[in-house]
């Protein structure tokens, strides 16, 4: 949005404290939500938990269409609706909560660079796997994406989304990549994250930041989602410090607080509700 609109929104955001009834909207957890959306949603949930801000997760089939930017998740706070991790971080900062205030300029630059790396490689790889890999598309994605809708809407929406994603992949040069090349890229990305994390508990030593939330969201989802093959999660499992990192955040921010909103055994694939005729 324009600079003026942004300043205006920040002003309004700063005026009120965080309410108790803030809600986060995402697609239906059991049957509809896909890998990339689940990762994004989990990243936002982790971030809000790290900031100690209460949030209620609500699942709606049309969450994607309710969102102001067309992407999930989005949060409904007071009378404002903000979607995607970047704007949510700004919004929360305007309310006076921030995880990255203690970083100096060089560290902030590094944090932003690593967040772009995750978006550029991990998120794009997830999208590729979901929408451009024929096996996954046929077995999982089409069925899940269109599950809340009656025939023929479920097929039409799924094909439309697939066409959109493939166009985007072609524009950024991923159209010609094979699955093996994509998995190579995921491996490279995980290696970079693992090397950056090293033996520290979080990426910027003692305190978690939005980068930790984003990385956790993506890696946890990759590890716990069952796809047609295990190649993607195997790439992540090669790096033990990343596994320990996910476990640490899960224990500290989700289990200890009794939230239990993480999928325990991964998203079940296949068995979905019978299409309504």
Partner 1 sequence: MAAPLELSCWGGGWGLPSVHSESLVVMAYAKFSGAPLKVNVIDNTWRGSRGDVPILTTEDNIVSQPAKILNFLRKQKYNADYELSARQGADTLAYIALLEEKLLPAVLHTFWVENDNYFTVTKPWFASRIPFPLSLILPGRMSKGALNRILLTRGEPPLYHLQEVEAQIYRDAKECLNLLSHRLGTSQFFFGDMPSTLDAYVFGFLAPLYKVRFPKVQLQEHLKQLSNLCRFCDDILNSYFRHSLGGKLAPLQLSFICVEYLHILLGLYKQNSLLIEEVCALSLNAGL
Q: Which is nearer to partner 1, 112 or 269 (CB)?
A: 112
Question: For residues 113 and 134, what is the distance between their CA atoms, to the nearest angstrom?
Answer: 32
Q: Which is nearer to partner 1, 133 or 185 (CB)?
A: 185
User: Taking the complex as a whole, how short is the minimal distance between the CB of residue 183 and partner 1, in angstroms?
Assistant: 16
Q: Which stretch binds partner 1 (CB under 8 A): 1-9, 212-220, 241-249, 268-276?
A: 1-9
Binders of partner 1: how many residues, by CB under 8 A? 33
Of the candidate residues 69, 80, 200, 273, the single one contacting partner 1 (CB under 8 A): 69
Q: How many CA atoms lie within 13 A of 65 on its CB side?
A: 5
Please give the residues from 167 up to 196 whose contact with partner 1 meets the rule CB under 8 A: 167-168, 171-173, 188-189, 191-193, 195-196
User: Taking the complex as a whole, how short is the minimal distance between the CB of residue 138 and partner 1, in angstroms?
Assistant: 25
Q: Which stretch binds partner 1 (CB under 8 A): 38-46, 100-108, 213-221, 261-269?
A: 100-108
Q: Which is nearer to partner 1, 43 or 143 (CB)?
A: 43
User: Taking the complex as a whole, how short is the minimal distance between the CB of residue 158 and partner 1, in angstroms?
Assistant: 19
Q: Which is nearer to partner 1, 167 or 257 (CB)?
A: 167
Say if CB 75 and CB 44 are below 8 A apart: yes
Give the binding site for partner 1 (CB under 8 A): 1-3, 68-71, 105-106, 108-110, 112-114, 116-117, 119-121, 167-168, 171-173, 188-189, 191-193, 195-196, 198
């Amino acid at each position: 949005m324009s600079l003026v609109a942004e300043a205006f929104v920040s002003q309004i955001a700063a005026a009120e404290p965080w309410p108790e009834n803030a809600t986060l909207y995402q697609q239906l957890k059991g049957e509809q939500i896909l890998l990339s959306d689940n990762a994004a949603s989990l990243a936002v949930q982790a971030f809000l938990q790290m900031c100690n801000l209460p949030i209620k997760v609500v699942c709606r089939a049309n969450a994607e269409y309710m969102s102001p930017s067309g992407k999930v998740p989005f949060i409904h706070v007071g009378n404002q609706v903000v979607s995607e991790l970047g704007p949510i971080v700004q919004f929360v900062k305007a309310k006076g909560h921030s995880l990255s205030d203690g970083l100096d300029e060089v560290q902030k630059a590094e944090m932003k660079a690593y967040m772009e790396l995750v978006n550029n490689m991990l998120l794009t790889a997830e999208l590729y796997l979901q929408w451009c890999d024929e096996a996954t598309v046929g077995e999982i994605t089409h069925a899940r994406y269109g599950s809340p809708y009656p025939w023929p809407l479920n097929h039409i929406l799924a094909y439309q989304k697939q066409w959109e994603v493939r166009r985007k992949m072609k524009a950024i040069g991923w159209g010609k990549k094979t699955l093996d090349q994509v998995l190579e890229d995921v491996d490279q990305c995980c290696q970079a994250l693992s090397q950056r994390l090293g033996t520290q508990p979080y990426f910027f030593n003692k305190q978690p930041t939005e980068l930790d939330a984003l990385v956790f969201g993506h890696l946890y989802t990759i590890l716990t989602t069952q796809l047609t093959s295990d190649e993607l999660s195997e790439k992540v499992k090669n790096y033990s410090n990343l596994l320990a990192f996910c476990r640490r955040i899960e224990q500290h921010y989700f289990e200890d607080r009794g939230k239990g909103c993480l999928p325990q055994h991964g998203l079940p694939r296949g068995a979905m509700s019978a299409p309504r005729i």
